[in-house]
Amino acid sequence: MSDKLQETPTAAPIALAYQTNIEDTTKDKFLTFIIDDEEYGVEIAKIREIISICKITKVPESPDYVEGIINLRGDIVPVINVRRRFSKPWKEYDALTCIVVIEYNTYKIGLIVDSVNEVAYIQEENILPPPSSKINYYNQFIRNIGRVEEDVKLLLDLDRLLAN
């Protein structure tokens, strides 16, 4: 009996295989969205859901780009207005405006965007450093540039976007 127990595999290899499959299905995929006619992208693995604009509760003394918090099925989720974070001019919310809920570290955070565009497949060889790195100009929110046919996608650096 003890020999059989020693031969029984543990769940760890199964969990590892499952995790590898998840990574394979999300590799090179980015959710793209629009802010002020420019297209930005976030790794699809970070996306939890996309919801319509809903009631947002303001939180006193928050930075101006933090819209507030929402109650998302019992989870309290802070919501950031990406347009404001980028110092873009104010725009009224419309039917296309939505909240992209991401998972950052262990937290859910909502990002208000003008509209969601697509899930783009961008192979690693088509992901380049931003040109600003070549001319010593620093763009704090852009990690890389993704080339998709004739288009470019500005791939966000969530660490910098969400830093105080």
Q: What is the pLDDT of residues 68-117, one digit of tens each?
A: 999 999 999 999 999 999 999 999 999 999 999 999 999 999 999 999 99
Distance CA 162, CA 123 (A): 25
Domain membership flag for residue 3: no
* Total number of domains in the chain: 1
Give the CATH number of the domain where residue 130 resides.
Answer: 2.40.50.180
83 in Cβ contact with 54 (< 8 Å): no
Q: Look up the domain containing 108 and give its range.
A: 28-161
Domain membership flag for residue 102: yes
Question: How far are the Cα atoms of 11, 13, 84 from residue 16, in angstroms, in the given order?
Answer: 9, 5, 40
Residue 7 predicted with pLDDT over 60 = no
Q: pLDDT tens digit string along 51-70?
A: 999 999 999 999 999 999 99
Domain membership flag for residue 17: no
The closest of 12, 14, 20, 45 to 31, measured between CA atoms, is 45
